[in-house]
Amino acid sequence: MINQATDSSSTIPPVPRGVAMDQKTAEQPDIKALNSAVKQAAAWVEPLQNEIRRVIIGQDHLIERLLAGLLTGGHILLEGLPGLAKTLAVKTLSQAIATDFRRIQFTPDMLPADIIGTEIYNPRDTSFEVKQGPIFASMILADEINRAPSKVQSALLEAMQEKQVTIGEQTFRLPELFLVLATQNPIEQEGTYPLPEAQVDRFMLKVVVDYPSIEEERAILDQVEHTDSSTMVRAIISPDDILAARRVVDSIYLDDRLKDYIVSLVYATRDPRRFNLDLQEYIETGASPRATINLKVVARALAFLNGRGYVIPDDIKGCALDVMRHRIRISYEAEAEDITSEDIIRKILDTIAVP
């Protein structure tokens, strides 16, 4: 078994709460200006969260990760048992944004054309016309994505990575604000197919949705009892607001020492011995370079959501599980000892010193 650190203070020095970690002050950006830009660009965040919470009770972690996906353009995979508001959360988010939304219900008998579209013969002018599929929307809910076979799941790959779709000999660009939010039931449930590794890696985050607390479930019961037209979701922001916020997120300051910290966290999943971690027998393959990139962009998004123009170590540690849990393939030894990828990530976070 992996021994969790009992006193993280012995391996992790005090975390600086400010931004002045780099002694080369001449090279630092104007933090006050960045904070001001973030405050102005994030004016819609709290109203949007409040609007979503009128429908979704609890699930604060899920809501925060959905907003992080909006701010970075990264696709999100939501995993949880049925009935935990995964689909409702995505639908509510889409309604709170003045943009187009499509829900695709994945089933075992689906074909790739059901997603991307196909060419249809027009007998009037003896030519083929393209009929676009539901993928041509800004926000896509791929509901129960693991209930469709791999050929259908792979139809999303080009769209997710390249933001374009090829039908016949024609290539079509997707909207600039294009986001795939997929839900899946746990793999061990009957009638599901494991997602191909290439597609899993294209999801920026894998968020595990858990049961609500007992207080939250009591509030859900009251909300259902009084459901009426007042729970309709209002559009709070437009795609232009989100695209403008993304430009601010890209400018958020990330210290070089934190960049080194990100690289160390990811590299430790590939070569744990280098960091004095006895984990090599539990890891089949480590996280890909996409994990490194996504840790950076998600940490910036979390800083933005917290009203800061700079990243702190807690932003990186806070998103490490969601960024890396689906990018580490555990070994048979780990399965035999009931060790998960989350256990491995937590051990790495407890061991590698924070700058």
Beta-carbon contacts of 160 under 8 Å, excluding residues fewer than 6 positions away, are: 75, 180, 199, 202
C-alpha to C-alpha distance for 257 and 16, rounded to whole angstroms: 12
Q: Quick check: 9 pLDDT over 50?
A: no
**pLDDT value of residue 258:** 96
Angle at 235 between CA 242 and CA 40, to 5 degrees: 40
Average pLDDT in the 271-279 region?
Answer: 93
Q: Average the pLDDT over each of 89-103, 119-133, 167-181 and give the range with the smallest value.
A: 119-133
C-alpha to C-alpha distance for 63 and 237, rounded to whole angstroms: 16
**127-132 and 117-122 strand pairing:** antiparallel
Span 240-270, pLDDT tens digits: 999 999 999 999 999 999 999 999 999 999 9
174 within 8 A of 164, measured Cβ to Cβ: yes
204 within 8 A of 323, measured Cβ to Cβ: yes
User: What structural domains does the chain harbor?
Assistant: 1-44+252-355 (1.10.8.80), 45-224+231-236 (3.40.50.300)
**pLDDT value of residue 58:** 86
Span 202-216, pLDDT tens digits: 899 999 998 888 998
**283-285 and 139-143 strand pairing:** unpaired
Q: Quick check: 217 pLDDT over 70?
A: yes
pLDDT band at 24; cut points 50, 70, 90:
very low
Residue 182, beta-bridge partner list: 77, 142
Beta-carbon contacts of 63 under 8 Å, excluding residues fewer than 6 positions away, are: 49, 52, 53, 56, 89
pLDDT band at 42; cut points 50, 70, 90:
very high
Q: Quick check: 224 pLDDT over 80?
A: no
Q: Quick check: 26 pLDDT over 80?
A: no
pTM of the model as a whole:
0.85
User: Between these two residues, 198 and 161, which has the higher pLDDT value?
Assistant: 161
SS3 310: strand
Which residue bears the tokens 């002018």? 125
**pLDDT value of residue 212:** 87
**pLDDT value of residue 3:** 59
**pLDDT value of residue 159:** 86
Average pLDDT in the 41-68 region?
Answer: 92
User: Between these two residues, 296 and 85, which has the higher pLDDT value?
Assistant: 296
Q: H or E segment at 338?
A: none
Encoded tokens for 131: 């009929």
C-alpha to C-alpha distance for 342 and 16, rounded to whole angstroms: 26
Give the percent of the chain with pLDDT over 70: 89
Span 158-178, pLDDT tens digits: 788 888 888 888 889 998 889
Q: Average the pLDDT over each of 78-82, 290-294, 315-319, 331-335 and give the range with the smallest value.
A: 78-82
146 within 8 A of 188, measured Cβ to Cβ: no
Which residue bears the tokens 């960091």? 275
Q: Quick check: 230 pLDDT over 60?
A: no
Which residue bears the tokens 């104007």? 30
C-alpha to C-alpha distance for 46 and 49, rounded to whole angstroms: 5
pLDDT band at 194; cut points 50, 70, 90:
confident
**pLDDT value of residue 231:** 62
pLDDT band at 22; cut points 50, 70, 90:
very low
Residue 171, beta-bridge partner list: 166
Q: Average the pLDDT over each of 19-33, 55-69, 232-246 and give the range with the smallest value.
A: 19-33
pLDDT band at 19; cut points 50, 70, 90:
very low
Give the percent of the chain with pLDDT over 90: 51
User: Between these two residues, 7 and 152, which has the higher pLDDT value?
Assistant: 152
Mean of all residue pLDDT scores within the chain? 85
**pLDDT value of residue 225:** 67
Span 303-343, pLDDT tens digits: 999 999 999 999 999 999 999 999 999 999 999 999 999 99
